[in-house]
Amino acid sequence: MRVGFIGLGHQGAPIARRIIGGGFHTTLWARRAETLEPFDGSGASIAATARDLAAAVDLVEVCVVNDADVEQVLAADDGVLAGARPGTVVAIHSTVHPDTCRRMGERAASRAITVIDAPVSGSAVAADAGTLLVMVGGDTATVEACRPVFSTFGHPIIHVGPLGTAQLAKLVNNVLLTANMSMARDAVVLGEALGLDPDKLGEVLEHGTGRSYGLGTWLNVRPSLGSPTTAGTLLRKDVDLLAESARAAGADAGALVTMANRVLTVLGTPPSPTDSATDEAQ
């Protein structure tokens, strides 16, 4: 299988390196040319446009930041869908709205191209180690055809259901992480109010039964309070996407979103006034 990869940022770059290292013929394209420089001598081919990349491969993997980026990379005049041949598969690794994946899937289907959503969870360290969690939404045959490629950078690989369901699973995961961060913050703040050294308390909690991934994330983010954080911005996007999906489904996001919003407000990325009013109504 020939693989094309778009989006060579903090997480995408190590994923691409794992795919190349796995022996797959890989073609790269990036909107920022400087992100291609570390791949000099890697054996990967470089495409001039996303359209050219798509024309040369069987599987296009997209790992850009948000919904607008996904739509631009896929649907622009010189984008992936303009160049992909019938039978090509597009895997969206970005964390975006499930409807974005479904809309791109419908558009691709008119060209006999298949879209699956395959968001990942884990750090760049996990990507380097090949241990990212990969959630996949799409038809079974397509998911299984892509599994050998995904296995170069991910374990486990979980087929969640049809197109869009992997995004929902990733959003629930990320909002639970954010809510756990909120609870971790409350614990540290309470400890300080009781006269405990916050750093020592953090060390205790990381080794105690109350530990969680959210606790470790909060302890890492806490020293940068007062400055904008990438984590806060990305998690704000995910909380908003889940809240919107829950409203559309008539589901109660309840305390999960409320707790997540508390810590994101501390991180300088509060919900919009409209979203705040909706949370209070729930």
d(CA 79, CA 129): 31
Residue 170 is among the residues annotated as catalytic for this protein:
yes
Instruction: Give the model confidence (pLDDT) of 115-168 as tens digits.
Output: 999 999 998 899 999 999 999 999 999 999 999 999 999 999 999 999 999 999
Instruction: Classify domain 168-281 at the CATH class level.
Output: mainly alpha
Rounded-to-integer distance, Cα 180 and Cα 143, Å: 31
Tell me what percent of the residues of the chain surpass a pLDDT of 70: 96
Question: What's the confidence (pLDDT) of residue 228?
Answer: 61
The ranges assigned to domains in the chain are 3-161, 168-281
Q: Give the confidence band of 53 by pLDDT, cuts at 50, 70, 90.
A: very high
Q: Would you state the CATH architecture of domain 3-161?
A: 3-Layer(aba) Sandwich (3.40)
Per-residue model confidence (pLDDT) at position 276: 52
Q: Please state which of the ranges 64-68, 69-73, 98-102, 227-231 shows the lowest mean pLDDT.
A: 227-231
Q: What is the DSSP string of 117-171?
A: E--EES-HHHHHHT-EEEEEES-HHHHHHHHHHHTTTEEEEEEEESTTHHHHHHH
Where residue 226 falls among pLDDT bands split at 50, 70, 90? low
pLDDT computed for residue 36 by the predictor: 97
Q: How far apart are CA 82 and CA 107, in angstroms?
A: 11
How high is the pLDDT of residue 202? 95
Task: Find the catalytic residue in 159, 170, 185, 236.
Answer: 170
Does residue 22 register a pLDDT over 80?
A: yes
